[in-house]
Structure 1
């Protein structure tokens, strides 16, 4: 008897898709990038415009990914898109970059955020930031090793809590009668800051807060009507996220002058204290901590499974070890490798450097995915496409131009950061060929 291949159930309607998009994207970055944005742009008008531009680029990118995701609805997402358009080596390098840079850097950066916020909340010594961050990264990894159900429960609990401080800061921050004046025109960078440098720094900062959008197309296989509902969920979900991000940053600007924001890494907490008073500010800060904790948990839970998948496919050295599961069916070596790299990053890097590096590296692959819309339409014209990107070819062109700006401007303005990111990614090239040679040798045996 032939067993029918298991498929995902098409149970997700438009509302579920919409909340999934927003829940995936909205994380801890929005609370902790405002000081960096204020420093890099030097003006409230350009700061707010950067959030809007990043949101529009994210929407264009999401629509491109939606076309490919509905055509290639396979587990692993972007790795499959890159392989279909460019081959096995670029696909491997994306997976390599994810397990070596993307997930560990996110865990390390968000753990630093959590520790910094906790130290400020409790009035502890700054010397405790790294030890607390390391403990958080290790403890969340340990929690996830206890089983996927527990990790998912933590994720579900923190999903809605994260919106509480955001809504409170927006509503009360914009309505405060003694707020700062925020001129929206003319849009220009601050004194002694060039447009090119300001936009590069601003886009790197904001794209970290929008991180997670690349996964929105993965919902296609579970949606009742992906052709109609997926583009609506992407445009409306990411559009609402853009509005929320712009409004909360406007509230930050109304609370503190741009110069003070630029020199306050705890700007979100400082704004909350000004808006709600000492006790209210502390309560909002606790809500922010819960939000960041949930974001770390999400990256930990999903990241360890990338190394496991590469082990199952035998595309990574020590594949047998990476295939190993705990008694609770959780990838053991994927989790240990991920947290080990994150701990090294904690010791060697800082929040801004880590987030800018992961944004730079991942946007190389994001831009390749946008271009893959054109490549796959030519290379595989008969491929079933339940959804075709709206505004073709202009939307993919806008996405490619935006992605190229992030990559090229980082190479020009931050060559050290770009060099380290590229170097770590290209380390995967000899690893790929070594693994290919081992596979051929095993087949010959």
Structure 2
């Protein structure tokens, strides 16, 4: 029985909220304190968040052209397979399954478990069981069609934006409409503890996830027009949210207070509303993490499904549900591996592995844009502005960040590189024994 094919049911609003939900996870509630530790003033801190947002916006513009050229499921896997060959696509999918998407889902699900135990006063021993439960929950939501899954995701995205709005309004109101932030921006006795590249790392990792929509391009209505609009609109919403949240942190905590905070969102809310405020924002963060896990698993499942269709993965994962037209086997497989990672690793390890792999994959994927421009005669519905300058800026900065990350965390970077290298013999064996199509 042939696959019925994906159903194009995602609207512009659905797609834009997928971008928002794929980026805003737990990073904005945790990483600003790390950035403050590595900067000398609030102005530098805010400048880095703006710079990180603009760099990610450039990435969105590049992905918008790639999506307009190939508006089908699979995203980066499809671009890499077509531009650099099947081995390149396989290595992306292999690393995506073992480290990037599964690791991101597992890490953020662990954040959910941590906040859920804090909100309800549960034992810390329940963090991992709750994380597993969160992954099972969001997997189950997406077994019954992209339309239902998108509606749930829209609710998650709107609720997380509502939580951010409450945080921003509370912070600015408490500090006299930003007077505290203005003072914090001006100067700080905190010394710079690392290079700007080191400070940019946690910023960029908080912006990870902008590519997930491209994996779902086969289910977007009028994708040549909708994908670029959704990527840009969603990214602008995230940039505004991130900058305002950091301004609110500075308004209440000051630069030094932010640098000394392990949970700035909870610290801001607790100063205004006490324990009740901390619980309120914890619930918002938990919802945010559920939305992120939801998008990550859904997007990753589409990559596995296309790989199976190409003969580069098990044939069973290529099958779509005949009624709901969803890759349920691929979805459950990715979710199962994410659960294994939750049980085997801690949050820090998962975050390090996933973050390094994620941004390295962005750089390699955007490099395919140069291949398309040189070898394709088609005129896409959307073209990256200021080509080749903007893609080159993205590549240079991201490669610099990846190198800096490798120097900062050589063990984590080395593990990811080993996973990629391990894919070479696996690909050779798979092509010899199982692949239906060779190249």
**Cα contact 1:69–1:77 (8 A) shared by 2:** yes
Q: Which residue of 1 aligns with 2:26?
A: 28
Q: Distance in 1 between matches of 2:353 and 2:302?
A: 22
Q: CA deviation at 1:106?
A: 1.6
Q: Which residue of 1 aligns with 2:290?
A: 293
Q: CA deviation at 1:190?
A: 4.5
Q: Deviations over 1:289-324 (max 9, x none)?
A: 2222222222233333432332232202xx144346
Call closer, same or farther: CA 1:313–1:220 in 2, change over 3 Å. closer
Q: Which residue of 2 aligns with 1:358?
A: 354
Q: Which residue of 1 aligns with 2:135?
A: 137
Q: CA deviation at 1:7?
A: 9.3
Q: Deviations over 1:325-377 (max 9, x none)?
A: 77976545434432333233224433343223222112222112222222222
Question: Is 2:369 the counterpart of 1:373?
Answer: yes
Question: Is 2:418 the counterpart of 1:423?
Answer: yes
Q: Which residue of 2 aligns with 1:409?
A: 404
Q: Distance in 2 between matches of 1:137 and 1:375?
A: 37
Which of 394, 407, 417 does residue 389 from structure 2 map onto? 394
Q: Distance in 2 between matches of 1:335 and 1:222?
A: 19
Q: Distance in 2 between matches of 1:166 and 1:292?
A: 13
Q: CA deviation at 1:38?
A: 3.2
**Cα contact 2:321–2:328 (8 A) shared by 1:** yes
Call closer, same or farther: CA 1:151–1:390 in 2, change over 3 Å. closer
What TM-score, normalized by structure 2, do the two folds share? 0.85
Q: Which residue of 2 aligns with 1:193?
A: 193
Q: Which residue of 2 aligns with 1:65?
A: 63
What TM-score, normalized by structure 1, do the two folds share? 0.84
Aligned 1:101-112 pairs, distance under 5 A: 101-112=99-110
User: Which consecutive unaligned segments of at least 5 residues does structure 1 have?
Assistant: none
Which of 244, 248, 253 does residue 247 from structure 1 map onto? 244
Q: Distance in 1 between matches of 2:359 and 2:286?
A: 27
Q: Which residue of 2 aligns with 1:163?
A: 161
Q: Which residue of 1 aligns with 2:271?
A: 274
Call closer, same or farther: CA 1:44–1:112 in 2, change over 3 Å. farther
Q: Which residue of 2 aligns with 1:283?
A: 280
Alignment: residue pair count = 430
Call closer, same or farther: CA 1:114–1:264 in 2, change over 3 Å. farther
Q: Deviations over 1:400-438 (max 9, x none)?
A: 112111211112221111001111222211111111112
**Cα contact 2:356–2:416 (8 A) shared by 1:** yes
Secondary structure of the 2:415 match is helix
Q: CA deviation at 1:159?
A: 2.4
